[in-house]
């Protein structure tokens, strides 16, 4: 029985709960006099629950199988691409970045057919632009 995935996630949630309770909540939640419930009460209770439940999972794990690590690494690549896309949009705008981002995603998937590439890179961003700016009258990012 492979229990590594649950042990790792259990330890993570235990560490998160403890970090929240001992460091994050005291430093990032203001203390207030009066009121029926202090701002830190619920986050503190949740942090304790997270730490206890995390420890429980780490001690008594299930045999949950983690996704294929190679696929997870590929997902990391797509996340990096999307992060770069958001960053680029903040500088150049959706109109310029969307076709490049669509092309990069389609290329990474393995799409090489010119017709589908054309549809994804030119037609779809143009349709979104028309829908948002012309029909809905809203601004693109």
Residues 21-60 that bind other proteins (CB under 8 A): 24-25, 28-30, 32, 35-40, 42-43, 46-47, 49-50, 53-54, 56-57, 60
Residues 2-21 that bind other proteins (CB under 8 A): 5-6, 8-9, 13, 20
What mask, x for binding other proteins by CB under 8 A, covers residues 75 to 94? x--xx--xx-xx--xx---x
Give residues with Cβ within 8 angstroms of 28, minimum separation 6.
none
Least Å distance between CB 128 and other proteins? 6
- Residue 141 CA to residue 52 CA, distance in Å, equals 42
Give residues with Cβ within 8 angstroms of 83, minimum separation 6.
none
Least Å distance between CB 18 and other proteins? 13
- Residue 125 CA to residue 140 CA, distance in Å, equals 11
Least Å distance between CB 8 and other proteins? 8
Cα dihedral sign, 85-89-94-100: negative
64 touches other proteins by CB under 8 A:
yes
């Amino acid at each position: 029985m492979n229990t590594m995935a649950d042990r790792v996630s259990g330890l993570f949630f235990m560490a998160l709960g403890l970090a929240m309770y001992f460091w994050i909540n005291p430093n990032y939640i203001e203390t207030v006099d009066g009121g029926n419930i202090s701002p830190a009460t619920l986050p503190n209770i949740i942090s304790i629950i997270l730490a206890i439940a995390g420890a429980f999972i780490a001690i008594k794990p299930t045999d949950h199988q983690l996704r294929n690590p190679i696929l997870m690494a590929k997902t990391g690549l797509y996340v990096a691409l999307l992060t770069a896309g958001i960053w680029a949009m903040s500088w150049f705008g959706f109109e310029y970045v969307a076709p490049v981002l669509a092309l990069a995603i389609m290329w990474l998937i393995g799409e090489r057919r010119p017709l589908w590439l054309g549809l994804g890179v030119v037609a779809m961003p143009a349709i979104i632009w028309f829908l948002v700016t012309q029909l809905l009258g809203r601004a693109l990012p």
